[in-house]
Amino acid sequence: MNNELKRVGLLGGTFDPVHNGHLGLAAETMQLFDLQKVLFIPVSQSPHKIHYRPTSSRHRVAMLELALEQKTAFSIELLEIEKGGVSYTIETISRLKERH
């Protein structure tokens, strides 16, 4: 088991759709902070967009998979999709700590 700590960035959003702005932000942040990985965390329901009905989670995840398939340092974390409903960053970070 590798006990070396990794520098990981988190990018949450609805990604409806994922676009070059998301990818550029992740790439720039990765370089600026010398990150080894960036996790894209699609939300089930954004707390800032309560009345917004996003495209289905399944389709948004599929769009992310296509956008990230050639980007080995980027991956998708489904924690908030699996939880369902509104998620808050502090809860997500706590659950990520438990998982990893």
Domain spans of the chain?
A: 8-99
- CA dist 90 and 80 (Å) reads 12
Q: Which of 48, 39, 38, 44 is nearest to 16 (CA)?
A: 44
Q: Is the pLDDT of residue 3 over 80?
A: no
Q: Is the pLDDT of residue 4 over 80?
A: no
- CA dist 23 and 27 (Å) reads 6
Q: Is the pLDDT of residue 91 over 80?
A: yes
Question: Residues 6, 36: contact at Cβ < 8 Å?
Answer: yes
Q: Is the pLDDT of residue 1 over 50?
A: no
Helix (H, G, I), strand (E, B), or coil: what is residue 19?
coil
* Between 99 and 85, the higher pLDDT residue: 85
Judged by average pLDDT, the poorest of 1-10, 15-24, 49-58 is: 1-10
Q: What is the pLDDT of residue 2?
A: 56
CATH number for region 8-99 = 3.40.50.620
Q: Give the pLDDT confidence of 21-76 residue by residue, as tens digits.
A: 999 999 999 999 999 999 999 999 988 888 888 999 999 999 999 999 999 999 99
- CA dist 39 and 33 (Å) reads 14
